[in-house]
Amino acid sequence: MDNPIFRISKSILLRIDEWIKNKNLTNLHVGLGSIIFLLVLIFILIVRAPSGFPQNSIITVEEGSGLYGLALELKEDKVIRSAFGFKTFAIILGGEREMKAGEYYLSKPQGSLTLAWRILHGMRGLDTVRITIPEGFTKTKISKLFDDRFSKFDHQYFLNNAREGYLFPDTYFIETGATASSTINLLVNNFENKLEPLVEDIKQSKKSEKEIIIMASILESEAQNKVDREIVSGILWKRIGIKMALQVDASIGYITGKTSKELTIDDLSIDSPYNTYKYRGLPPEPISNPGLESIIAALNPKTSDYFYFLTDDDGVMHYAKTFDEHKQNKAKYLRN
């Protein structure tokens, strides 16, 4: 059989057999070997991949990397359950000196025994493409990242079934044979893993997860750094609280495909629930896929006296307490 588990079991048993012979325990060979064989199989079944295993990711084994440090790193990254177990397998199978440096693709959850075998034999499993999804990309832009290399990727399926806002922006190593469905699952699973530490904070905010993600998607487009996102978050939640229209260009840009500079007076009159000049409150759905910093800013708005903001042509944010001050900022900082 070509199953790595059986190959590993055979390797372990051969080493046990050699040890028994060296210790002159040949009379116990058959019985002891059978017992150990059963124990090994049971142990293999127990040592499985941990929950939260980083499926569809790549781990790097550095040249000269020590077994102890590598095991701790893999344990911290939830690749293995037990650092001790991984080190034990690696030593039994060949030892620290036999580890092959390089990048190893984790296409699916694998136990520490299989992983040790792969690293010791240089089985990297790489037939993937590195895809980086920037913060604030829409699902339309994400779909365009999957070019002719991905022959099984159905773009229309992706656009019809992917949920805007829940496709976490990150760097992925994706198999060239990936489908639109498997890609959606990959991005959504990553979103859920990233959001998990914030679940309690969302409950404490007295806002729904959907409201937080919609706000985060707006912040991703309207502000460029952590400080500004927190201030803008405070302004926009305050506007919602007093039933004032959000009046953000990003939501109209989502339905028109235009930048803030390209928007016209007619665009601001479009009859759409995404027109936050015409309709109060949040848009019905996220307008992009926000990163973690924007999600955290949506959860942690900064209180201020400001009601208005704008970004100048150099990307600097300017705030105002009154509409008159805001108009002055527009005249001063925005070049026509």
Task: Share the mean pLDDT of the chain.
Answer: 84
Higher pLDDT, 3 or 202: 202
Higher pLDDT, 87 or 213: 213
Asked if residue 14 is part of any domain, the answer here is: no
Asked if residue 37 is part of any domain, the answer here is: no
Asked if residue 187 is part of any domain, the answer here is: no
Tell how far CA 86 is from the center of its chain.
25
User: In the 8-state DSSP scheme, what is residue 63?
Assistant: T
Residues in the chain: 336
- Partners of 105 in the beta sheet? 58
The pLDDT of residue 191 is: 95
The pLDDT of residue 230 is: 95
Neighbours of 118 (CB within 10 A): 19
Tokens of 56: 């569809």
Asked if residue 53 is part of any domain, the answer here is: no
**134-294-189 Cα angle (round to 5):** 65
Tokens of 160: 């019809």
Range of the domain at 239: 206-333
Q: In the predicted model, is pLDDT for residue 29 greater than 70?
A: no
Of residues 150, 222, 224, the one with CA closest to residue 183: 150
DSSP letters along 228-265, please? HHHHHHHHHHHHHHTT-----HHHHHHHH---GGG--T
Confidence of residue 1 (pLDDT cuts 50, 70, 90): very low
Asked if residue 197 is part of any domain, the answer here is: no
Q: In the predicted model, is pLDDT for residue 23 greater than 50?
A: yes
Q: Give the whole-angstrom CA distance, residue 222 versus residue 239.
A: 15
Of residues 191, 175, 210, the one with CA closest to residue 284: 210
The pLDDT of residue 47 is: 66
Averaged pLDDT for residues 232-258: 92
Q: Give the whole-angstrom CA distance, residue 330 versus residue 309.
A: 10
Confidence of residue 126 (pLDDT cuts 50, 70, 90): low
Burial 210-242 (b: 16+ CB within 10 A, else e): ebbbbbbbbbbbbbeeeebbbbbbbbbbbbbee
The pLDDT of residue 2 is: 47
Q: Give the whole-angstrom CA distance, residue 266 versus residue 120.
A: 64
User: 296-311, pLDDT tens digit by residue?
Assistant: 999 999 999 999 998 8
User: 184-196, pLDDT tens digit by residue?
Assistant: 999 999 999 999 9
Asked if residue 35 is part of any domain, the answer here is: no
Of residues 114, 95, 115, 116, the one with CA closest to residue 3: 114
The pLDDT of residue 274 is: 94
Confidence of residue 36 (pLDDT cuts 50, 70, 90): low
Asked if residue 320 is part of any domain, the answer here is: yes
Q: Give the whole-angstrom CA distance, residue 101 versus residue 304.
A: 52
| CA max distance for the chain | 97
Helix and strand numbers, DSSP H then E, in the chain: 14, 6
Averaged pLDDT for residues 80-94: 84
Give whole-number Cα distances, 181 to 127, 194, 281, 317, in Å: 19, 20, 32, 39
Q: In the predicted model, is pLDDT for residue 41 greater than 80?
A: no
- Partners of 320 in the beta sheet? 308
Q: Domains in the chain: how many in total?
A: 1
Asked if residue 215 is part of any domain, the answer here is: yes
